[in-house]
């Protein structure tokens, strides 16, 4: 089985001289289809940079990044944009980036138009999968934090991504909602063969992960 995501000896630094920061320092990682992993570590340890490189948002200075076996570090900006649209789903903190004017169902349909892809599940089926079919006609302002996060997850899954990258999905959620959201993420990855990487400070949700990795000073262990 070909890994969904492979990072091999990836490094990336910011700044120069005495102020240089090694955001990623020889990081290697493999995530298989259907695997949901957690990455923990202190602020400034490189977790966000890891997601940026894995998500084809930032190029590493050295090392290899492969998505479904395809090396992407040499891709043009246009090719990287295509990779993001066609193969990667992003779930952000608290899904505060949902367009305020769009109802829940329209959030998903808008995402499908942008990516040019409608996956194996319809908008209605995705909303049902995340427990939000009864809120399909509501705009973000009338949804709770947990409900907005569920819509964000459904939106990320619209085009059947191979890779799901998740940044602090439980921020501002209470304990019960946090457990529900991460359980949902893990189930979607397991059931549909999506490789998931979640960065989190919330140690209470790690039981849902297949593996948990620690990141310290740009190194993953």
Q: What is the dihedral of CA 75, 77, 79, 80, to 10 degrees?
A: 80
Residues of the chain with pLDDT under 50: none
Structure-token pair, residue 61: 């200075």
Q: In whole angstroms, give the CA distance from residue 95 to residue 107.
A: 12
- pLDDT for position 96: 60
Q: What is the CATH number of domain 5-220?
A: 3.40.50.300
Residue 20: predicted pLDDT: 80
Phi/psi zone of residue 56: left (φ > 0), alpha (ψ -120 to 50 degrees), beta?
Answer: left
> How far is it, in rounded angstroms, from Cα 165 to Cα 195?
9
Cα distance between residue 13 and residue 49, in whole Å: 10
Distance CA 5, CA 196 (A): 9
In the chain, where are the structural domains located?
5-220
d(CA 131, CA 168): 20
Buried b (16+ CB within 10 A) or exposed e, 87-118: bbbbbbbbbeebeeebbbbebbbebbeebeeb
- CA 15/CA 66 separation, integer angstroms: 26
Question: What would the two tokens of residue 194 be?
Answer: 């999506």
The predicted structure's pLDDT at residue 171: 84
CB 164 within 8 A of CB 133: no
Note the pLDDT of residue 95.
Answer: 59
Q: What is the pLDDT of residue 94?
A: 60
pLDDT at res. 184 = 92
Pairing outcome for strands 195-199 and 211-216: unpaired
Ranges of beta strands (E only) in 61-205 are 62-67, 70-71, 88-91, 163-167, 195-199
């Amino acid at each position: 089985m070909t890994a969904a995501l492979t990072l091999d000896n990836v490094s990336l630094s910011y700044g120069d001289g005495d102020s240089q920061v090694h955001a990623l320092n020889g990081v290697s990682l493999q995530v298989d289809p259907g695997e949901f992993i957690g990455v923990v570590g202190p602020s400034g340890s490189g977790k966000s940079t890891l997601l940026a490189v894995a998500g084809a948002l930032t190029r590493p200075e050295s090392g290899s990044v492969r998505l479904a076996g395809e090396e992407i570090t040499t891709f043009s900006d246009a090719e990287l944009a295509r990779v993001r649209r066609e193969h990667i789903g992003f779930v952000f903190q608290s899904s505060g980036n949902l367009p305020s004017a769009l109802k829940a169902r329209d959030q998903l349909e808008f995402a499908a138009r942008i990516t040019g892809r409608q996956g194996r599940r319809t908008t209605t089926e995705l909303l049902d999968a995340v427990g939000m079919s009864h809120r399909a006609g509501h705009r973000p302002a009338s949804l709770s934090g947990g409900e907005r996060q569920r819509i964000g997850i459904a939106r990320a899954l619209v085009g059947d991504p191979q890779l799901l990258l998740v940044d602090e999905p439980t921020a501002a959620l209470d304990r019960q909602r946090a457990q529900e959201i991460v359980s949902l993420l893990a189930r979607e990855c397991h059931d549909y063969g999506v490789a998931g990487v979640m960065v989190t400070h919330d140690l209470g949700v790690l039981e849902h992960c297949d593996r948990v990795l620690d990141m310290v000073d740009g190194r993953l262990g």
